[in-house]
Amino acid sequence: MNAGDLFDNPQSRAAMRHAELCRQIAAHDVAYHVNDAPDISDAAYDALRREVEEIEVQYPDLITPDSPTQRVGYSTKSTPFQKVVHSRPMLSLGNAFDDQDVRDFYGRVAKFLGVQPDDIVVMAEPKIDGLSCALRYEDGILVRAATRGDGVEGEDITANVLQIPDIPRQLKGTPPKVLEVRGEVYMRRADFQDLNMRQQAAGDKIFANPRNAAAGSLRQLDSRITALRPLRFFAYAVGDVSGAIATSQSGLRQALADFGFTISMPAQLCETVADTLAYYTEVMQNRPDLPFEVDGVVYKVNDMAWQDRLGSVGRAPRWAMAHKFPAEQAVTILRDIQIQVGRTGALTPVAILEPIAVGGVVVARATLHNEDEIARKDIRIGDHVMIERAGDVIPKITAVIMEKREPSSIPFVFPDHCPVCQSYAPRVEDEVVRRCAGGLVCAAQALERLRHFVSRDAFDIVGLGEKSLEEFWDRGLIRTPADIFTLQEQDKGSLTPLRSWPGWGPQSAQKLFASIDDRRNIALDRFIYALGIRQVGQVTAKRLAAYYRSYTAWSDAMIAGDDALQSIQDIGPAVAADITAFFAEPNNVALLTDLAGHLTIADHVMVARGDSPLSGKTIVFTGTLTLITRDEAKARAEKCGANVTGSVSRKTDYVVVGADAGSKRAKAIEFGVTLLSEEDFRDMSQSGTL
């Protein structure tokens, strides 16, 4: 080994980058907070912080007390509340709508753990309709409160939370050094009505429902106003905690109560699925009598060791689920059906409704999904339709009230041409969507592609929203993504520069140019995702980036037509064909080259758990696993930073061989890939911090 090797691994590279970023952020902080003279745009500052967070997610041992992520809050001027990065993300819950969904939940948990559904004990609690909130206690003292935000980053509402009577400022008993308590801030129904009466008397805003009232009260800039609002709090979970405070969910509830919190009632420990369903029915029946609004119940696997094993998929834990009460419904009139064109050319029908209040909000539009959906329900313009807010957010039409139909009404005819570019819009056999064939000539598609390009998960260009994008399009300034990066040059020579446009000024123009410049450095996976290749979303883009590592390696391989595509996880013939088709179009290749000329595309940083021998490795499972289930094995491997793929290729590092392994094992031997037994895998996935 020579000295070069020490630095030529992902972890040491990440460590060096991390240190550099921390230095930069500290310098910017001084400029911003101390000298009151920011030397960098908010967006660029956020990007630096984001990069630090990403590195720390991969290499937790780089997190030090003086890391910028560990400091309380930081400012962006976009909101008056300081942003707070949650120490661990606040997840959302999967939803069940009927008994079968609940049985399926038990089935999934049982299958993952390799136990029987009857073995699973579940803690059931009411799901209060309020706002999730995280309270951080250090040495028993409340030091910070944050809203859930997007789950990763929330807003600092400490001052307001201190005004809520059942949130203790100081914990009782002997709490751990650090304890983050999570729960729901809500308002009782009676308190809500009183508040509205007072608001009305004072000529102030009336709230639509207790939830909105709680939200409005919590986001007051003046905490003296919050103090006048009758807010309450139920504790139901913990986030960051030093040491363990319970081994079960029921124990956790008890511990929280002992620390001085109110815990949600009525709750019940359920031994069987039947108990769980009975609890659901009971809460639903008592719903009108409960003093607060409840939109369902929550089930949590009681055993916390099992919770840990189950982990989470995406943004939802596998060990918990919400069982929702039936959605509120309402009847209104369907005024029109509009056809929207998406970035892939998909024609999507949208219902334009006579505005009506459902579940506390006024609904005026609803998606109709597709042509078949309209035909299946025989939805016609002018019909009275039943709408509901599914999962409490997105409104949908559930049925047509046939008795109220006008005899003169006619079935809706779905157009077979694009409403924007008039191109033919064929429906591929066996597919549900109709797609505008206009492709590159369709303005609607081009605009949607641009919108995708600048969206948060892609280039994240702030200040270039839908409206301004459309404006630039209309004036012919932005027609392709590359145009975004020449905007400032174009503007310089223009007779009507941006700063002279209505609604724009020198400041906003400068700000936009700055935020575009901030994105001239971009991670490879974001870049690939931004291109908007059919069927290539965030996950697939990341897989491509991880496989090819650099922009040049990727684009060269794509232009040459790499057969290896299909050996990448999640990429089969259909997805590979779409990627190949994208590169077969000369316009796309030209665009790509043009675009790349304006950018610095960073090589992919391996997602790796530094201290695990599996980190950064590509691993394939084959045969029947006997020690743990396949799902669990896969989750564990990924937790260690491994890339789990489906088929063996020369790039595979390990093949874990279970019982009765067949062709993959043979292939592994042929390629000289290291074979691991299940026991080997267990040992390797255990070493390293989990």
Residue 79 binds to DNA (criterion: CB under 7 A): no
DSSP reduced 3-state for 1: coil
Shortest distance (Å) from residue 305 CB to DNA: 21
Residue 203 binds to DNA (criterion: CB under 7 A): no
Shortest distance (Å) from residue 55 CB to DNA: 22
Question: Is residue 231 a contact partner of residue 163, using CB atoms and an 8 Å limit?
Answer: yes
Among 2, 574, 597, 679, indicate the residue that binds DNA (CB under 7 A).
574
Among 160, 540, 612, 685, indicate the residue that binds DNA (CB under 7 A).
540
Q: Looking at beta carbons only, is 19 or 313 nearer to DNA? A: 313
Question: Is residue 464 a contact partner of residue 484, using CB atoms and an 8 Å limit?
Answer: yes
Residue 261 to residue 252: CA distance in whole angstroms:
11
Q: Looking at beta carbons only, is 176 or 532 nearer to DNA? A: 532
Q: Looking at beta carbons only, is 491 or 578 nearer to DNA? A: 578
Residue 497 to residue 330: CA distance in whole angstroms:
50
Residue 540 to residue 96: CA distance in whole angstroms:
28
x/- mask, DNA, residues 96-125, rule CB under 7 A, reads: -x----------x--x--------------
Residue 92 binds to DNA (criterion: CB under 7 A): yes
Q: Looking at beta carbons only, is 510 or 535 nearer to DNA? A: 535
Q: Looking at beta carbons only, is 97 or 504 nearer to DNA? A: 97
Question: Is residue 155 a contact partner of residue 162, using CB atoms and an 8 Å limit?
Answer: no
Question: Is residue 271 a contact partner of residue 120, using CB atoms and an 8 Å limit?
Answer: no
Q: Looking at beta carbons only, is 115 or 394 nearer to DNA? A: 394
Residue 407 binds to DNA (criterion: CB under 7 A): no
Q: Which of 149, 142, 188 lies closest to 167 in space, CA to CA?
A: 142
Q: Which residue has the tokens 């008994």?
A: 99
Residue 534 binds to DNA (criterion: CB under 7 A): yes
Contact region with DNA (CB under 7 A), list: 217-225, 249-257, 430-438, 459-467 = 430-438
Residue 440 binds to DNA (criterion: CB under 7 A): no
Residue 572 binds to DNA (criterion: CB under 7 A): yes
Q: What share of the chain is helix, strand, coil (3-state, %, to 5)?
A: 40, 20, 35
Active-site residue list: 127
Residue 443 binds to DNA (criterion: CB under 7 A): no
Among 4, 407, 573, 586, indicate the residue that binds DNA (CB under 7 A).
573
Residue 394 binds to DNA (criterion: CB under 7 A): yes
For residue 126, which phi and psi values (nearest 5 degrees)?
A: -70, 150
Shortest distance (Å) from residue 574 CB to DNA: 3
Among 9, 95, 423, 508, indicate the residue that binds DNA (CB under 7 A).
95
Among 67, 75, 510, 569, indicate the residue that binds DNA (CB under 7 A).
569
Residue 407 to residue 419: CA distance in whole angstroms:
28
Shortest distance (Å) from residue 620 CB to DNA: 8
Residue 415 binds to DNA (criterion: CB under 7 A): no
Among 172, 365, 404, 479, indicate the residue that binds DNA (CB under 7 A).
365
x/- mask, DNA, residues 333-352, rule CB under 7 A, reads: -------x-xxxxx-x-x--
Interface of this chain with DNA, residues 131 to 190, rule: CB under 7 A = none
Q: Tokens at residue 302, please? A: 């009681």
Residue 363 binds to DNA (criterion: CB under 7 A): yes
Q: Residue 118 class from Cβ within 10 Å (0-12 exposed, 13-18 middle, 19+ buried)?
A: exposed
Shortest distance (Å) from residue 17 CB to DNA: 26
Residue 511 binds to DNA (criterion: CB under 7 A): no
Query: How many angstroms separate the Cα of 573 from the Cα of each of 165, 568, 618, 621?
Result: 59, 11, 21, 21
DSSP-derived secondary structure for 574-614: HHHHHHHHHHHSHHHHHHHHHHHHT-EEEPPPP---TTSTT
Shortest distance (Å) from residue 351 CB to DNA: 8
Among 20, 118, 372, 378, indicate the residue that binds DNA (CB under 7 A).
372
Interface of this chain with DNA, residues 458 to 477, rule: CB under 7 A = none
How far, rounded to the nearest angstrom, does the alpha carbon of residue 588 sit from its chain's CA centroid? 29
Contact region with DNA (CB under 7 A), list: 168-176, 293-301, 393-401, 474-482 = 393-401
Residue 514 binds to DNA (criterion: CB under 7 A): no
Contact region with DNA (CB under 7 A), list: 64-72, 142-150, 377-385, 387-395 = 387-395
Residue 553 to residue 116: CA distance in whole angstroms:
48
Q: Looking at beta carbons only, is 364 or 381 nearer to DNA? A: 364
Give the list of residues 6+ apart from residue 570 with CB closer than 8 angstroms, or none.
539, 540, 543
Interface of this chain with DNA, residues 622 to 681, rule: CB under 7 A = 624, 630-631, 645-647
Give the list of residues 6+ apart from residue 252 with CB closer than 8 angstroms, or none.
237, 238, 245, 246, 304
162: left (phi over 0), alpha (psi -120 to 50) or beta: alpha
Interface of this chain with DNA, residues 294 to 323, rule: CB under 7 A = 313-314
Q: Looking at beta carbons only, is 295 or 518 nearer to DNA? A: 295
Residue 657 to residue 676: CA distance in whole angstroms:
6
Buried b (16+ CB within 10 A) or exposed e, 393-426: eebbbeebeeeeeeeeeeebebeebbebbebebe
Residue 538 binds to DNA (criterion: CB under 7 A): yes
Residue 423 binds to DNA (criterion: CB under 7 A): no
Contact region with DNA (CB under 7 A), list: 166-174, 406-414, 510-518, 573-581 = 573-581
Cα separation of the two ends of the chain: 29
Strand partners, 353: 334
Residue 44 to residue 514: CA distance in whole angstroms:
9
Residue 550 binds to DNA (criterion: CB under 7 A): no
Using CB under 7 A as the criterion, which residues of the chain lie in contact with DNA when the complex forms? 92-93, 95, 97, 108, 111, 212, 313-314, 340, 342-346, 348, 350, 361-367, 369-370, 372-373, 390-396, 430-433, 448, 532, 534-541, 566, 569-576, 624, 630-631, 645-647
